[in-house]
Amino acid sequence: IALPSLHLLYLMDEIKSPNMTIKIIGHQWFWSYEYSDFPNIEFESYMINNYTNKNFRLIEVDNKMIIPFKMNIRILITSEDVIHSWTIPSLGIKIDAIPGRMNQTNIITNRP
């Protein structure tokens, strides 16, 4: 039972022909984003210190990552210094950014 399960687990993790790839790099106090399918689309995102009832505490940022609707998107995530946790709460996504390791996930949004 272990060998077929490992094969299926590998197939589920493999992302074939994504429409877009976004590389995310965690730094000590900010995130760097690179849209690798488009030239010159890179930006940094810093946390917002002002807390209101309309935003998530310690999750809201000044420059938000924008992802297209109904497209297969590959997310590559790593860290430059320590372990970070990258999340999109509304989609139920949380990925750990670990130095020296490139984690990947697949996102297909069904709602705007």
pLDDT in tens, 48-76: 877 666 666 667 788 888 888 888 899 99
User: Within a domain: residue 68?
Assistant: yes
- pLDDT of amino acid 65: 86
Read off the tokens for 45. Answer: 């995102």
Q: What is the pTM of this model?
A: 0.79
User: Within a domain: residue 93?
Assistant: yes
pLDDT in tens, 11-35: 666 677 888 999 999 999 899 999 9
C-alpha closest to that of 107 among 53, 67, 61, 51: 67
User: Within a domain: residue 52?
Assistant: yes
- Domain span at residue 68? 18-107
User: What is the C-alpha separation between 112 and 99, in angstroms, rounded?
Assistant: 32
Q: Residue 85: which pLDDT band, with cuts at 50, 70 and 90?
A: very high
User: Within a domain: residue 77?
Assistant: yes
CATH of the domain at 82: 2.60.40.420
DSSP 91: G
User: What is the C-alpha separation between 30 and 93, in angstroms, rounded?
Assistant: 18
User: Within a domain: residue 8?
Assistant: no
* Structural domain total, the chain: 1
- pLDDT of amino acid 111: 75
User: Within a domain: residue 10?
Assistant: no
User: Within a domain: residue 112?
Assistant: no
User: Within a domain: residue 58?
Assistant: yes
